[in-house]
A and B are shown apart, each in its own frame.
Chain A
Amino acid sequence: MEDKTTLQKIKENRHFYYFLVPFLLFFSVFMLFPIIFSFYMSLHRWGGLGQATFTGLKNYMRIFTDSTFHTALKNTIFMWLTSTPLILGFALILAVMLNQKKVKFLKYFRVGYFMPFVTSTVVVGVIFTILLDSSFGLVNFFIESVGFEKIPFLTSTTWSKISIVIVLTWRWVGYNTIIMLAGLQNIPEDLYEAAEIDGGTTLQKFFYITVPMMRPIILFTFILSTIGSFQIFTEPYIMTGGGPMQSSLSVVQYLYNSGFQQFRMGYASALSYVLFAIIFVASYFQIKIGSGEEGI
């Protein structure tokens, strides 16, 4: 048994390859090849037609001094750092509320909160374009009826980013609530019972049992949100076009503009590699945290 050659092993397990080949084929052509080709492209200048010229690391050097990229990166980081705590904070509170033993209509609440996630981002974008309109938007109607002045959500450089954050929060709270609710249901009931016997208050139970027990799930959702945030594209594309004056331009929209509007394919490839590096650093933590029970 021990002395099988690799060839024999391959032959014996040939069905492994038969079963894996369809996936592997499409994975190689549409995933591995683009990853490598993208890097090759990023070392060239290419306008979409004709011959590409090798430029070495020039594209990457340019990214460092490209003020539009810096703006886009700053905007993206702003949207990430403001929306993520809002989303996860609301989601955790909501999940704890929905996890109470005697909540009535739980099924309906869950569906209601989940609905924003089901809808396409484009549809969400067009709805909020109307809702947040500076002259006739419903949100401004509410703001005015409680005595404040209308806010130019989509047309001011300060508010455009915040508008995107509002939409992100609205869309992603329900999704994260569902994940957190599943996590909460995994916390052993007797922990809470023991705390109750010791006279623990609701708040104490939340901070000393719920939060520590939920740490892995919160971390997981945090990393999902981080990765998602660096991919923001549709919301600004639909609602503000990245404006006014690039105030809501995201990294991916800049990538899109460079590649598909200005046809600077090489530069856009370099941008995509920088984006990849940023996301890789973020997801590295997830792999670290998630490993241990991978079962390889």
Chain B
Amino acid sequence: MFEKENIKTYVFYILLITGVLISLLPFVWMITSSFKTLAEISEYPPSLLPDEVMWNNYVDVFDTVPYGRNLFNSFFVAIMYTFFGVFISATGGYALSKYREAPGRKLFFAVILSTMMIPMQVLAIPLYILMAQVGWINSYPALILPFAAQGFGLFMLKQYIDGIPDDLIEAARIDGCGEFRIFFQIILPVIKPAVAALGTIYFMNNYNLFFWPLIVTNKSIMYTVPVAIAQLQGQQFGIPLHHIMAAATLSTVPLIIIFLYFQKYIISGITMGALKG
């Protein structure tokens, strides 16, 4: 009996660890490949570790494409998008949650909710035309603004604000606190966990976004990282796999660090949607 339990435990952990290895192996492969020569990457049988560590790949990738600028673009756009998107979701969510007497509230809510499942690909053509008309192709506003008003974000923060007792707001009003001060000094501090959760999700989504930046930029200095990498991959002759792996590693490492730091919030953000939505 004792033996059988032991074997069960071993099998259990072996399965779990195998799964984790499958999850992580591609990352290991990316990192080790980023230190190989182009010839060594396409060698068969493949080698895990590089014969000679090619730090040069990390230098060369900045020479072939404006990768420093691309990294800056990605971070700048994602940060601006996150702050802006979360802010308008918080104010909007507050309005929908706490002004229940306002005429039109239900209609606004229903309209916003009904568009929640519309994927950006459906909006790409008209948005592209709009951007072209106002001369925003290859611009930061085009990368930041179009998907800032997300029904998902508004809904998530509204749900969270619903949990704040009305008495708290009423008491502040009686004390002579203005409506905007109530929002900034009472509501915002209370919803911090939800704001952090939504913020990390927004940041990750935007940092990794490909479809829209691909459409709305065509100058290499305005590319975000995913587009820059895709352009390297898309070269007709001699795809520079070693540079691509270096670029991929450079773009992924910061994200992993952010994830490890904020993982509590990311996980709560994802599960919030599942359990309440």
Chain A positions within 8 Å of B, measured between CB atoms, are 6, 9-10, 12-13, 15-20, 22-27, 29-35, 37-38, 41, 94, 97-98, 100, 103-104, 108-116, 118-131, 133, 135-138, 141, 170, 173-175, 178-179, 182-183, 186, 217, 220-221, 227, 230-231, 233-234, 237-238, 252, 255-256, 259-260, 265, 268-269, 272-273, 275-276, 279-280, 282-283, 286-287, 290, 294-296
For residue B7, CB closer than 8 A to chain A, the reply is no
Interface residue ranges of B82-120 to A (CB < 8 Å): 87-89, 91-92, 94-96, 99, 101-103, 105-106, 108-113, 115-119
Shortest C-beta distance, B118 to chain A (Å), equals 7
Residues of A within 8 A of B119 (CB): 227, 230-231, 275, 279
Max count, chain B CB within 10 A of own CB: residue among A31, A112, A122, A269: A122
B222 in contact (CB, < 8 A): no
Residue B154 lies at the interface, judged by CB distance under 8 Å to chain A: yes
Q: Which residues of A contact B193 (CB under 8 A)?
A: none
Knowing A23-B154, A182-B274 are in contact, say whether A121-B125 is a contact too (CB < 8 A): no
Question: Known contacts being A16-B99, A113-B20, A178-B270, is A130 close to B41, with CB within 8 Å?
Answer: yes
The answer to whether A20 touches B96 (Cβ under 8 A) is: yes
Tell me if B102 and A31 are in contact (CB < 8 A): no
Across the interface, which residues of B come within 8 angstroms of A10, CB to CB? Answer: 102-103
Q: Closest Cβ of chain B: how far from A128's Cβ, in Å? A: 7
Q: Which residues of chain B are near A178, meaning CB under 8 Å?
A: 267, 270-271
Q: Can you add 4 more A-B contacts, CB < 8 Å, to A33-B126, A231-B119?
A: A16-B95, A38-B125, A122-B210, A256-B215
* 8 Å CB contact of A265 from B33, B96, B129: B129
A183 and B275 within 8 A (CB)? yes
Q: How far in angstroms is the closest Cβ of chain A from B130?
A: 7
Q: Which residue on B lies nearest to A22, using beta carbons?
A: B88
Contact of B117 with A13 in the complex, beta carbons under 8 Å: no
B244 in contact (CB, < 8 A):
yes
Contact residues in B for A129 (Cβ distance below 8 Å): 233
List B residues at the A interface (Cβ < 8 Å): 12-13, 15-16, 19-20, 22-24, 26-27, 29-30, 33, 41-46, 87-89, 91-92, 94-96, 99, 101-103, 105-106, 108-113, 115-119, 121-130, 145-149, 151, 154, 159, 162, 179-180, 183, 204, 207-208, 210-211, 215, 225-227, 229-230, 233, 241, 244-245, 248, 251-252, 255-256, 259-260, 263, 267, 270-271, 274-275, 277
A227 to B180, CA, bound (A): 38
A37–B226 touching, CB < 8 Å:
no
Which 9 A-B residue pairs are closest in the complex by CB-CB distance?
A23-B92, A16-B99, A120-B208, A283-B117, A19-B95, A16-B102, A13-B102, A182-B271, A34-B126
Contact between B117 and A280 (Cβ–Cβ < 8 Å)?
A: yes
Pair A296/B24 contact, Cβ less than 8 Å: no
Most buried by B among A121, A126, A221, A256: A126
Select from chain A the residue with minimum beta-carbon distance to B96. Answer: A20
Q: Are B255 and A109 interface neighbours, CB within 8 A?
A: no
Q: Of A38, A141, A220, which contacts B126 at CB under 8 A?
A: A38
B45 contacts across to A, CB distance below 8 A: 141
**Which one of A32, A119, A138, A183 lies within 8 Å of B255 (CB-CB)?**
A119
* B127-A238 in contact (CB<8A): no
In the complex, chain B residues whose CB is within 8 Å of the CB of A287: 113
Q: Is the CB of B149 within 8 A of A12?
A: no
Contact between B115 and A23, CB atoms less than 8 A apart: no
| B-side contacts of A179, CB under 8 Å | 270-271, 274
CA distance A282 to B99 in the complex (A): 32
- Could you say which of B15, B122, B179 contacts A15, with CB atoms under 8 Å apart? B179
Contacts of A108 in B (CB 8 A): 20
User: Is the Cβ of A237 less than 8 Å from the Cβ of B149?
Assistant: no
Docked CA distance A279–B244 (Å): 34
